[in-house]
Chain A
Amino acid sequence: MISIKKLHKSYQMGSNSLHVLKGINFEVEEGELVAIMGSSGSGKSTLLNILGMLDNADEGEYILDQVPIENLDETKAANYRNKFLGFVFQSFNLINYKTALENVSLPLYYQGVKRKERQEVALDYLDRVGLKPWANHLPSELSGGQKQRVAIARAMASKPKVLLADEPTGALDTKTSYEVMELIQKINEEGKTILVVTHEPDIAHMCKRIVMLKDGVIVEDKKVKQVIASADVQ
């Protein structure tokens, strides 16, 4: 599903150049649930941003679902993001003047889906994350966990190939974190490829594979026995 070869990225910080990713090689199969771990500054967010086409690599090869991702201009990147990727952010990033339903239907709007169909699909996804009764609530009326579930529904609504989650539980308490992870696991069980960036080991162990980053290189890449999140909650 994802194939990365010799990925390099550096940032210009004044006169110094900061080499963040130093040749990453990385493959993800369809249906995997991968945790990307590392301390801050290890390059894990940069990697996710490049995977999410929010940032461009300096060199290296990136193939997503057999499509080579190269020579991106903003419009092309936007279309790829819309077609291939779903994002979940640490700070939820819901649009605060839109209801849960409107937030979920937003990516479909940019896909050009008709209004009625969009609302049906969005409501269906809200239902799947258990928030159908909150469809017409504004984000300010929802709890943190509910917001993140709306964000996951929004990421899923466009039927992406890959779901990218950047510290999805970073702003949540443990109980809510596990609820969110339970949802992520459920989506993964349905066959979705998911990448989760986290620095919390317990969250990482709820994934099927852990990739450790340190100073811009992969230091460890291992399959783990998945901890089922719902079991921890009870």
Chain B
Amino acid sequence: MNSLKIIFDRDTWQEIFGSISKNKTRTIITVIGVLWGIFIYITLSGAAKGLDNGFERAFKNIAKNSMGFWAQRTSIPYDGFKVGRRPIMKLEDVKYLKDRVGGIQYISPTNSLGAFGGTAPTIKRKNFSESYPLYGIYPVYNKITSKKVFDGGRFINDQDILEERKICVIGERTATELYEKDENPIGTFVQINSVYFRVVGVHKFNQGGFESEGDVFIPFSTFNKIFNKADRIDFMFLAAYDKEDPVAIEEEILTTLKRLKRVAPEDERAFGTFNIGEAFGRIMGFANGMTFLSIVVGIATILAGVIGIGNILLISVKERTKELGVRRALGATPGEVRSQIILESVFLTTIAGIIGIILASFILAGINAATINLEDFPYTNPTVPISFVLGALVIMVSLGSLIGLIPAQRAVSIKPIDALREE
């Protein structure tokens, strides 16, 4: 017998429909087992993917491999220096670092008031004044934590640095607090610590990272001039290439900095760091764990459902012993009987699986609709990769045929004469 012929033969399917529609209640209960399994599998992995996407979204505006360094006080005497010295980072160190650590993609020296320490400067416009964190930065900063600048404005550029221009990019909140609703801040002037700055852009606040919606950015060179910092850097903000291991890069930079600043290599306190890449890796690891868990749980549930189908078919084969005996007396070969039972099993599992997938899609769509406007909830676009769905279908069809083998073998192991004798 040609097995393809059996599968595509309309009569085969009529035989199968006939025998499974005979026992509707049993068929439905059986189907629910697998349906539930695939439903759990798809819902869980979709939810895990939503979580995954949610974390991705939370980090989307900050380079995933970004990290920051700042000087603290040494804790170990070294090279003739006493404990408690504060290493001083200078502009020339930036080039030094970039030359020595190949994994650095972008590096922006950053000075700040009011963000990590110091008093936030007062920003004044007309008769309104308020304190906002102020950053002196390089244009490349925008590559590390990308800012959306509203229409008509721009971010700080190289020329601003070179000419030490007194321009600033203000935050979304700053703009709403300092300006009237229909006023365009671009081109107007604000006073930062009594120095006039022209506003060139308004940046949209980004979720994630350490910034706030009131941050004001000015060119690094201007900052250092106004606050008398010469070429000193308080803070280095950088992004490593995506392929680099953030932990290793952090280690490499620390080692280089310690050597440069004559700090004991084992001194853990001389420099402070934060590493978004590492945190991101941990969170994504958690999300991957969730995905893995959902696959394991889902497949186990599917398995339980398929075993249920096998069990039911086994009982049904027992009940149909006589019918199968008649079929064989009429000329059905063992192969034909076997393939009929297996096809019944595969058909039931597949139908159950497809219904389960459809139901799960509705649930996921429902969850998506319920969470779509929750900005703080790390859950976005809960989708299941098509490969998961196809994989689940393949698993179901193969498990269905495997489990169908048992009742099928049982059906043909009874001799037709014994089957006919059965009352």
Contact surface of A with B, Cβ cutoff 8 Å: 49, 52, 54-55, 74-75, 78-79, 81-83, 87, 89, 91, 93-98, 102, 106-107, 109-111, 115, 154, 158
Interchain residue pairs with CB less than 8 A apart (5): A54-B420, A78-B333, A87-B330, A93-B322, A115-B10
Q: Is B22 a contact of A97 with CB atoms below 8 Å?
A: yes
Residues from chain A with a CB closer than 8 A to the CB of B322 are: 93
Question: Once the chains are docked, how many angstroms separate the CA of A95 from the CA of B331?
Answer: 14
> Is B335 engaged at the interface, CB distance under 8 Å to the other chain?
yes
Question: Once the chains are docked, how many angstroms separate the CA of A107 from the CA of B412?
Answer: 18
Question: Once the chains are docked, how many angstroms separate the CA of A83 from the CA of B330?
Answer: 9
Question: Once the chains are docked, how many angstroms separate the CA of A8 from the CA of B18?
Answer: 41
Of all A-B residue pairs in the complex, the 7 with the closest CB atoms, nearest first, are A82-B331, A110-B331, A54-B417, A78-B333, A107-B330, A75-B333, A97-B22
Residues from chain A with a CB closer than 8 A to the CB of B10 are: 115
Residues from chain B with a CB closer than 8 A to the CB of A52 are: 329
Closest B residue, CB atoms, query A74: B334
Closest A residue, CB atoms, query B332: A110
Q: Nearest-CB distance from A178 to chain B (Å)?
A: 26
> Is B213 engaged at the interface, CB distance under 8 Å to the other chain?
no
Residues from chain B with a CB closer than 8 A to the CB of A109 are: 11, 15
Question: Once the chains are docked, how many angstroms separate the CA of A97 from the CA of B22?
Answer: 7
Q: Nearest-CB distance from A194 to chain B (Å)?
A: 17
Number of interface residues of B (CB under 8 A): 27
Instruction: Give chain B's interface secondary structure class.
Output: helix
Q: Nearest-CB distance from B378 to chain A (Å)?
A: 54
Query: Which single member of B11, B18, B334, B336 contacts A97 (CB below 8 Å)?
Result: B18
Contact surface of B with A, Cβ cutoff 8 Å: 10-11, 15, 18-19, 21-22, 322-323, 325-336, 412, 415-417, 420, 423
Closest A residue, CB atoms, query B417: A54
Q: Is B331 a contact of A79 with CB atoms below 8 Å?
A: yes
Q: Is A81 a contact of B417 with CB atoms below 8 Å?
A: no
Residues from chain A with a CB closer than 8 A to the CB of B336 are: 78, 110
Query: Which single member of A81, A87, A98 contacts B18 (CB below 8 Å)?
Result: A98
Q: Is A78 a contact of B331 with CB atoms below 8 Å?
A: yes
Residues from chain B with a CB closer than 8 A to the CB of A74 are: 328, 333-334, 412
Question: Once the chains are docked, how many angstroms separate the CA of A116 from the CA of B328?
Answer: 23
Q: Nearest-CB distance from A93 to chain B (Å)?
A: 5
Q: Is A55 a contact of B417 with CB atoms below 8 Å?
A: yes
Q: Nearest-CB distance from B20 to chain A (Å)?
A: 10
Residues from chain B with a CB closer than 8 A to the CB of A83 are: 331
Question: Once the chains are docked, how many angstroms separate the CA of A111 from the CA of B59?
Answer: 66
Closest A residue, CB atoms, query B331: A82
Q: Which residue, B10, B331, B332, has most C-beta atoms of chain A within 10 A?
A: B331
Question: Once the chains are docked, how many angstroms separate the CA of A115 from the CA of B417?
Answer: 28
Q: Is A54 a contact of B331 with CB atoms below 8 Å?
A: no
Question: Once the chains are docked, how many angstroms separate the CA of A216 from the CA of B333?
Answer: 30
Q: Is B19 a contact of A97 with CB atoms below 8 Å?
A: yes
Contacts A95-B323, A97-B18 given; does A49 touch B417 at CB 8 Å: yes
Q: Is A107 a contact of B19 with CB atoms below 8 Å?
A: no
Question: Once the chains are docked, how many angstroms separate the CA of A89 from the CA of B15?
Answer: 22
Residues from chain A with a CB closer than 8 A to the CB of B323 are: 95-96
Q: Nearest-CB distance from B30 to chain A (Å)?
A: 17
Contacts A75-B335, A78-B331, A98-B18 given; does A115 touch B420 at CB 8 Å: no
Residues from chain B with a CB closer than 8 A to the CB of A98 are: 18
